[in-house]
Chains A and B, each alone.
Chain A
Amino acid sequence: MNKCAERLYNGIIKENPTFVLMLGMCPTLAVTTTAINGVGMGLSTTAVLVFSNLIISALRKIIPDRVRIPAYIVIVASLVTIVQLLLQAYIPSLYESLGIYIPLIVVNCIILGRAEAYAAKNGVVESAFDGIGMGLGFTVGLTCIAIFREILGGGAVFGMEFIPEDFRITIFGLAPGAFFVLAGLTALQNKFKAPSATNGSAPKSSLACGGNCASCNGLACASNHSTLEEIRRKEEEKAAQAKKEAALKAAAAKKEAEAKKAAQAAAAADAAGTEKAGE
């Protein structure tokens, strides 16, 4: 149970996907025009993330290693379609305002990233809690940015008015404002040297590309792919060699044990013989 709580803490604070890992920047900037959109997007992503982690971790021993990425994409895309249909049926207003960004959850790096980095290696319960933690972390991040933007740009948040109409900075509600808010955020992270992907001190994610979009020069993907393959091959070789050695050792040990046994038996027989002779 402790591990589950640790997963939640990890997702919400230590490796917050928005503030620390800087993953999924596309929805982060696009839907944070109003706080309600931010919450909606965060919770939709959380739902997809929890179930994708759950299913992928349950199927992790069945999915062959070579086709795991397409398999993950199919699972995630099915879940996103379910979420999309549910939103369309029950919260049409949110469906309207999020628009194309709901199907785009499929290509959100957080989801495939967590599947690859966590769910593919860990048990079902921990993976589900990892999904909850990461999803809530994402929701918190989106909501904070959205509240900031909505107060500055629209003057009101969740129906409460803070800034009178003449003093609003409309640009924060528009596209450029998203860039400025994120720029301010990353500048603050640089100033306080907070752990973040932007200043290179983020905890290294085990994502294939390191999960660091900001400092990626575009070549990381291809080269990482080959290095990963190489590492895997080396590991396999090592494992094979270790296995061989272990087998040899085991055989040697067995032989030795047998020899010892035989010697013991012989000794025992000898002893018995001498004893008998003694009698």
Chain B
Amino acid sequence: MKELILIIVGSALVNNIILSQFQGLCPFLGVSKKVDTSIGMGGAVIFVITLACIATNLVYSLVLVPLHLEYLQTIAFILVIAALVQFVEMFLKKNVPSLYQALGVFLPLITTNCAVLGAALTNVQKGYNFIFSVANGVGTAVGFTIAIVLLASIRESIEDNDIPFNFQGSPIVLITSGLMAIAFLGFSGLI
């Protein structure tokens, strides 16, 4: 149990996927204009990363390892993730339209997001078993959501500020993220 909590805290705060690993930067900078959309994106990421970690762990331990095909992990994982996202999109559209309304537009964005593949590969690299993999996936995704929602609320509140011309647009967003990254460095003492 203690290890599980350590893994979740570690992947959500200490090794935050965006602010210290730089994975999933495109949606982080792109979808953080409004808090609402960023929450939707965060929800979709939690959903997809958790499912992807389950699926890739099963594929790895039940197919690749018995056949000694571990070196095919990158190919296998990216295909599994792409197929999974397609499938989830179709399933939600048909059976849970309300959830599809909330998350639908974000799902295609996530397919080639490095955060998903990154989480799946980290699980293999660290040799996590099934439960630890899922915990790591959930932690990673929660870390992503925390970071993107925080950035979106900061961006909303500095929207009317008088920013020097040269720093308008993406420079100020990057500086904000840099300051957030400094704050998140403080978590490294947690573990």
Chain A residues near B (Cβ < 8 Å): 25-27, 29-30, 70, 73-74, 77-78, 80-81, 84-85, 99-100, 103-104, 106-107, 109, 112, 171, 174-180, 182-184, 186-188, 190-191, 198-199, 213-219, 221-222, 225
| A179 CB contact (under 8 Å) in B26, B114, B168, B174 | B174
Q: B117 contacts A175, CB within 8 Å? A: no
B23 touches A179 (CB 8 A): no
On chain A, the residues within 8 Å of B41 by CB distance are 218
Q: A190 vs B108: C-alpha distance in the bound complex, in angstroms?
A: 31
Given pairs A180-B175, A222-B104, 6 additional interface contacts (CB within 8 A): A25-B22, A26-B24, A99-B125, A104-B118, A112-B112, A215-B170
What 1/0 mask marks residues of chain B from 69 to 88 whose CB sits below 8 Å from any chain A CB?
A: 00111110011001000000
A182→B167 CA distance, assembly (Å): 12
> Is the beta-carbon distance between B185 and A180 smaller than 8 angstroms?
no
Tell me the complex Cα distance, A180–B157, Å: 21
Q: In chain A, what residue has the closest Cβ to B164?
A: A187
Check if B109 sits within 8 Å of A176, measured CB to CB.
no
Q: Is the CB of B112 within 8 A of A175?
A: no
CA distance A77 to B178 in the complex (A): 31
A176 and B19 alpha carbons, distance in the complex (Å): 8
**Interface-forming stretch among B2-10, B27-35, B58-66, B137-145?**
B27-35
Q: Residue among B27, B33, B112, B122 with the most chain A CB within 10 A?
A: B112
Tell me if A29 and B22 are in contact (CB < 8 A).
Answer: yes
Q: Once the chains bind, are A85 and B25 in contact (CB under 8 Å)?
A: no
Q: Which among B23, B105, B165 is the interface contact of A222 at CB below 8 angstroms?
A: B105
Measured CA separation A183–B23 after assembly (Å): 17
Interface centre among A109, A174, A186 (most CB of B within 10 A): A186
* Interfacial chain A residues near B171, Cβ < 8 Å: 183-184, 186-187, 190, 198
Closest to A188 in B: B166
**Sample of 6 A–B contacts (CB below 8 Å):** A73-B112, A77-B79, A104-B121, A175-B20, A217-B33, A222-B108
Q: Are A73 and B170 in contact (CB under 8 A)?
A: no
Residue in A112, A190, A213 whose beta carbon sits within 8 Å of that of B165 in the complex: A190
B28 to chain A, nearest CB (A): 9
Residues 169 to 191 of chain B near chain A (Cβ within 8 Å): 169-172, 174-175, 177-179, 181-182, 184-185
Judging by beta carbons under 8 Å apart, are A77 and B179 in contact?
no
Instruction: Please determine whether B72 and A81 come into contact, CB atoms closer than 8 angstroms.
Output: yes
List residues of chain A with CB within 8 A of the CB of B182. 171, 176
Q: Interface size for chain B: under 10, 10 to 19, 20 to 34, or 35 or more residues?
A: 35 or more
With known contacts A78-B75, A81-B74, A213-B29, A190–B169 Cβ distance under 8 A: yes
Contact of A176 among B27, B117, B166, B178 (CB under 8 A): B178
- B37 interface residue (CB < 8 Å to A): yes
Q: Are A217 and B174 in contact (CB under 8 A)?
A: no
Contacts A100-B121, A103-B117, A186-B170; is A216 near B30 (CB within 8 Å)?
yes
Q: Does B75 lie within 8 Å of A81, measured CB to CB?
A: yes
* Best-surrounded residue of B104, B113, B182 (most CB of chain A within 10 A): B182
Distance A218 CA – B33 CA, assembled complex (angstroms): 10
Q: Whole-angstrom distance from the CB of A182 to the nearest CB of chain B?
A: 5
Least distance between A18 CB and chain B CB atoms (Å): 13
CB-defined contacts of A77 to chain B, threshold 8 Å: 74-75, 78-79
Q: A175-B185, A198-B169 are in contact. Are A107 and B31 (CB under 8 A)?
A: no
Known: A74-B79, A104-B117. A218 touches B30 (CB 8 A): yes
Q: Are A106 and B29 in contact (CB under 8 A)?
A: no
- CB–CB B30/A179 < 8 A: no
A199 to B25, CA, bound (A): 18
A80, A84, A219: residue with the most chain B Cβ atoms closer than 10 Å:
A219
Q: A180-B174, A190-B165 are in contact. Are A175 and B114 (CB under 8 A)?
A: no
Are B30 and A217 touching (Cβ within 8 A)?
Answer: yes
Beta-carbon contact of A221 and B108 below 8 Å: yes
Interface flag for B129 (CB, 8 Å): no
Q: CA separation between A218 and B73, bound complex, in Å?
A: 29
Q: Are B166 and A191 in contact (CB under 8 A)?
A: yes
A188 cross-chain contacts in B, Cβ below 8 A: 166
The reply to whether the CB of B21 lies closer than 8 angstroms to some CB of chain A is yes
- Taking CB atoms, residues of chain B closer than 8 Å to A221 are 105, 108-109
